[in-house]
Structure 1
Amino acid sequence: MGEQPAEARSRRAHAASFGDAAAAYQRGRPPYPVSVLAWAVPPGARRILDLGAGTGKFTRLLADAGLDVVAVEPSAGMREQLAAAVPEAAVLDGTAERIPLPDGHVDAVVVAQAWHWADPGRAVPEVARVLRPGGTLSLLWNVRDHTEPWVARLDEVLHRHTRQDVDTAPDLGEPFGPVERAEIRWRHRLGRGELLDMVASRSYVIVLPEQRRRELLGSVEELLDSHPDLRGRESFDLPYVTRCTRARRP
């Protein structure tokens, strides 16, 4: 089933906002641990599509593993950052609903931090089209680990202004087979400025009115200055859980 018109308009508006904050996204968003690569890309896969590749956070891992990478991203601002960060990847304009590749072109498709922007009713058959028979679709999300007290407090600050709920364990349906799930826990070292960039690059923050956006970032700075786990520190570890879903095209 496709989206309702209002849902589609809201999704497109938030997804399109990233071009205005591509540099902050590149500075502040976390990478992915190598263990996620091993889970997402099956043995023997060589040609990989990184769909909704953003600024190349996952593309970099794929390229470093010596894989033949095609990165598809709809935002021109994000593609500019991506091409600079991963020059060895082929970077194309496209979406999950319209992938500029021929049928059966790739061994695996990875969608890192982007599947929630897609219309599954159109994206699932389009991804299946570009996958070879037996190919794998893997969906990944980096989620902050709220069991850390200061991270829970950070989320309280963010959700005071706005909230974005994302389904990080979606079903896929035909023509894909049964889904497999995994959670990988890890920690990302970052500094004060990078944390502020991470917040500023969230789609729901980008689209806030300017006054509310300044208030939110000011609240995050106050947390950095006052929380006992952060006060006076130039860098700290942000714990993440990477939530993974994969399924194979029979």
Structure 2
Amino acid sequence: MTTVSRAHSFNAAAAQYAANRPSYPPALIDAVEALAGRPLAGACVADVGAGTGIATALLHARGAHVVAVEPGEGMAVAFRQTLPAVPIVRADGNALPFTDASLDLLTYAQSWHWTTPERSAPEAMRVLRPGGTLALWWNISALDVPWISAQQERIARHVGENGPTQRPDEARAIELSGLADLPGRGDVTLRHIRWSRRVPLETHLANIGSHSAFLVLDQADAEAFLAEERARLSELFPDGTVEETYLVELLTTTRT
């Protein structure tokens, strides 16, 4: 299954994504402000790969003048229903619809890996003002929690991917991001922010099912896996509430 097919798979499941995917902790937005060296209030911001608006809503709530960028029609429809007052444009990170040096902050929440860094990284430097900040982040399952690590192993086996690994160190994370040799950038900073949420078991399972690796599976195959997970987790969490634990991996750099 191609990366493009997996990326497009979100459009048919936008409502499921919006209802069940985790958001991000306030500490993440605090860290973005601190690393940017300015408050979000009044800042000109673009949130790229905005999806249904999970991260955009947090930026907007801090007072940013934010524009969402989203290539998928299904996700854009869900975004407009959730955040009707926030502008959204149909584009992607490889060709941003903004003039040179027009943004204070450019964010990619769970979306940088869907771009081509050879194109998206120079685009980021183009649209940022001098001193402006590029912030990339992802929610990553906390593998030091035994039941989470075991579940991630089962998921990887089922969808035919490599099993979970420890997160790379700062140098390797920067290299993997495609920012290592980017002209016009300042230092790249890596931060990890741990947080958790307590959700009903069905929300947890729907969250798993909203990931692209499951969306492209045969429906019966995906449902069979989730039924097995329901049985396992019902024993672990007999009250029907699951505590999901995450590390937000945050990479930031500035335009010099």
TM-score (structure 1 length as normaliser): 0.89
Of the candidates 240, 245, 249, which is equivalent to residue 243 of structure 1? 249
Cα deviation for residue 86 of structure 1 reads: 2.0
CA contact (8 A) 1:21 1:201 kept: yes
Residue 130 of structure 2 corresponds to residue 133 of structure 1: yes
Of the candidates 6, 22, 25, which is equivalent to residue 33 of structure 1? 25
Partner Cα separation in structure 1 for residue 90 and residue 56 of structure 2 = 15
Partner Cα separation in structure 1 for residue 184 and residue 12 of structure 2 = 36
Residue 192 of structure 1 corresponds to which residue in structure 2? 201
- Secondary structure of residue in 1 paired with 2:2: helix
How many residues of Structure 1 are paired with residues of Structure 2 in the alignment?
Answer: 239
Give the letter for the 1:133 counterpart. P
Equivalent runs, 1:3-152 vs 2, <5 Å? 10-41=2-33, 42=36, 43-44=38-39, 46-152=43-149
Cα deviation for residue 72 of structure 1 reads: 0.4
- Secondary structure of residue in 1 paired with 2:94: coil
Partner Cα separation in structure 2 for residue 188 and residue 201 of structure 1 = 17
TM-score (structure 2 length as normaliser): 0.87
Partner Cα separation in structure 2 for residue 158 and residue 52 of structure 1 = 25
Give the letter for the 2:227 counterpart. G
Give the letter for the 2:86 counterpart. A
Cα deviation for residue 175 of structure 1 reads: 2.4
Q: Deviations over 1:207-246 (max 9, x none)?
A: 112232122212221222233xx1x223232111000100
Cα deviation for residue 23 of structure 1 reads: 0.9
Give the letter for the 1:178 counterpart. D
Give the letter for the 2:140 counterpart. V
Where structure 1 has 5 or more consecutive residues not aligned to the other structure, the ranges are 1-8
Residue 156 of structure 1 corresponds to which residue in structure 2? 153
Task: Please identify runs of 4+ aligned residues in structure 1 that moved more than 6 A.
Answer: 164-168
Where structure 2 has 5 or more consecutive residues not aligned to the other structure, the ranges are none
Partner Cα separation in structure 2 for residue 238 and residue 210 of structure 1 = 24
Give the letter for the 1:226 counterpart. E
Residue 200 of structure 2 corresponds to residue 208 of structure 1: no
CA RMSD, aligned part only? 1.9
CA contact (8 A) 2:60 2:66 kept: yes
